[in-house]
Amino acid sequence: METIELKINGRKRTLHCLPNATLVEVLRDQLHLTGTHVGCDTTQCGACTIHVDGCAVKACTVLAVRSDGSDVMTIEGLAENEASHPMQEAFKACHGLQCGFCTPGMIMSAVDLVNKGCALEPSAIREALSGNICRCTGYQNIVAAVMQGASEMQEQSS
């Protein structure tokens, strides 16, 4: 067992895990943060996307021990003070989800692409989201949601 320290959704945690445990396993099984999902075994679907030190990362592909000392944010930590994040609101408003399984990963990727200054036009968003698979929505409403969520994020920060 290894001991690691992480800041998770703003709170410091000390954890014990196997050296081969992935970050998503620790989040789901030890911390019961089950909003981060696992949809594949080849780093292809993006259902597990979270933020580590402010950047979108596929949590199925990071060993927990490698993130020792990191600041981790999952979908559960995105909303501040119980109010939804504008990207979460936009996904609801634009019907950007159906079964909801890909949704936490999509939202975490979407917030990241806005933070990174991705051009806010459909073709750029489609390309930026191509690491996240959704089998339900056909992506159209996800793209609309990201456009709307992005402009609200920008408004809030200005």
Partner 1 sequence: MSGSLIGKRVLRKEDHRFVSGKGRYTDDIQLVGVTYAAFVRSPYARADIKSFDVSEALAAPGVIAVLTGEEVVKDGLGGLPCGWMIHSKDGSEMRQPHHPVLAADRVNYLGEPVALVIAETQLEAKNAAEMVMVDFEPLTAVVNPATASQAETLYEAVPNNVCYEWELGDEAATDAGLAAAAHITTLQLTNNRLIPNAIEPRAALAEYNSGTDEIILHTTSQNPHLVRLIMTAFVQIAPEHKLRVIAPDVGGGFGSKIFIYSEETALAWAAKKLGLTIKWTAERSESFLTDAHGRDHVSEAQLALSAEGEFLALKVKTIANMGAYLSTFASAVPTYLYGTLLAGQYRTPAIYVEVDSVFTNTAPVDAYRGAGRPEATYLVERIVEKAAAEMGLDPAELRRRNFIGRDQFPYQTPVALEYDTGDYEASLSKALEMADYDTFATRQAEAASRGKLRGIGLSCYIEACGLAPSQVAGALGAGVGLWESGEVRVNPTGSVTVLTGSHSHGQGHETTFAQLVADRLGLPIEDVEVVHGDTGKLDFGLGTYGSRSLAVGGSALSVAADKVVEKGRKIAAHLLRTDVDNIDFDAPVFKMLDSNESKTFQEIAFAAYVNHDYPSDELEPGLAEKAFYDPLNFTYPAGTHICEVEIDPDTGVVEVVQFVAVDDFGTIINPMIVEGQVHGGLAQGIGQALLEQAVYDDTGQLITGSYMDYCMPRADNFPDFKVGMTCTPCTHNPVGAKGCGEAGAIGSPPAVMNAITHALGGIEVDMPATSEKVWRAVQTMRTLKTA
The residues binding ligand FES (CB under 6 A) are 38-40, 43-48, 58, 60, 97-103, 134-137
Min dist CB 52 to partner 1, Å, is: 16
Out of ligand FES, partner 1, none, which partner does residue 114 contact, by CB within 5 to 8 A per kind? none
According to the binding rule CB under 8 A, does residue 99 interact with partner 1? yes
Nearer to ligand FES, 98 or 115 (CB): 98
Tokens 């089998």 label which residue? 135
* Contact criterion met (CB below 8 Å) for 133 and 44: yes
Q: Number of helices and strands (H, E) in the chain?
A: 5, 5
Which amino acid is residue 10, in one-letter code? Answer: G
DSSP letters, 22-77, are BHHHIIIIIS--TTS----SSS-S-TTEEEETTEEEEGGGSBGGGGTT-EEE-GGG
* Residue 127 binds which entry of ligand FES, partner 1, none, CB below 5-8 Å type-dependent: partner 1
Cβ 14 to partner 1 shortest distance, Å: 21
91 binds partner 1 (CB under 8 A): yes
